[in-house]
Amino acid sequence: MMTATPAGLTPESLAAITARVRPFTMAPDLAVHFTAMETVRLITAGIPGVLVECGTWRGGCSMAMLLAQQAVFGHVVRPVHLLDSFAGLPPAADRDGPLAHQWQSETDNPGYHDNCTVSKEQVLADITALGFSEGEYFIHPGWFADTLPPLAAQLGETPIALLRLDGDWYDSTLVCLRHLEPLVAVEGTVLIDDYYAWDGCARAIHDYLSAGDHAYRIKSLAEFCGAYFTKRAARDAFEIV
């Protein structure tokens, strides 16, 4: 059984958050729990920056970030930026792996969700129905290659405390890392939803970290429902990973 977290989220509050966002996310409960807990942990620890999700679908995990702040702090302390094409996923490439091609071809599969297509208006309506208003969140519609450069420019010197990547494929993951990982605060978190799901996502993570000579340790979420790393230039104590 999950115990209360030092940051103030209890099993009951986590269950309530997960229940509220369940219609709006495909992420397993454990992944939603981690997203909510990490949001609060980073804020409580004073890690500077906003929260960003690349690949929101219906917005469930971004909603969890907002609801977790509301539950612990009584209001939204850090705004959440939601990025999505709102036109579904682009075609999988060879390096995304055979399962990606299979998934994208099985259009009658209940898990297909119209190739993850949803309208921006629907996401906006659902977040508004939860009681949040613009300024607490920002929606950036369009392909990552088009929306990431202006977002990075908009943020300027403002870092990112939590970056959640849910772009599925190699190219989508790599472009997010190239534009936004440099903006992640030291000791900030990069959460990778699809690391175990799709070959292309894993390849993009490995290629990016290797090309940048980064020593970040990739850590697994429970039941391999995702992965994450902490932005830390070097390991400076044996007790810290």
pLDDT in tens, 219-229: 999 999 999 99
Q: Set out the domains of the chain in order of their start, with CATH numbers.
A: 13-21+43-230 (3.40.50.150)
Question: What's the confidence (pLDDT) of residue 240?
Answer: 75
Taking alpha carbons only, the member of 55, 71, 59, 65 closest to residue 25 is 59
Is pLDDT of 236 > 80?
A: no
Query: Within 10 Å of residue 185's Cβ, how many Cβ atoms?
Result: 19
Is pLDDT of 239 > 80?
A: no
How far is it, in rounded angstroms, from Cα 97 to Cα 206? 15
- One-letter identity of residue 97: G
Is pLDDT of 6 > 70?
A: no
pLDDT in tens, 24-63: 999 999 999 999 999 999 999 999 999 999 999 999 999 9
Decide: helix, strand or coil at residue 53. Answer: strand
User: pTM (2 decimals)?
Assistant: 0.95
pLDDT in tens, 153-166: 999 999 999 999 99
Mean pLDDT of 68-94: 97
- Tokens representing residue 224 in the block: 């391999």
Question: What's the confidence (pLDDT) of residue 241?
Answer: 74
| Complete edge-to-edge strand list for the sheet that includes strand 50-54 | 137-141, 80-84, 50-54, 160-165, 184-192, 227-230, 219-220
* Exposure class string for 62-82: b at 16+ Cβ within 10 A, else e: bbbbbbbbbbbeeebebbbbb
The β-bridge relationship of strands 160-165 and 50-54 is parallel
User: Residue for token digits 């917005």?
Assistant: 59
How far is it, in rounded angstroms, from Cα 170 to Cα 94? 10
Query: Within 10 Å of residue 36's Cβ, how many Cβ atoms?
Result: 28
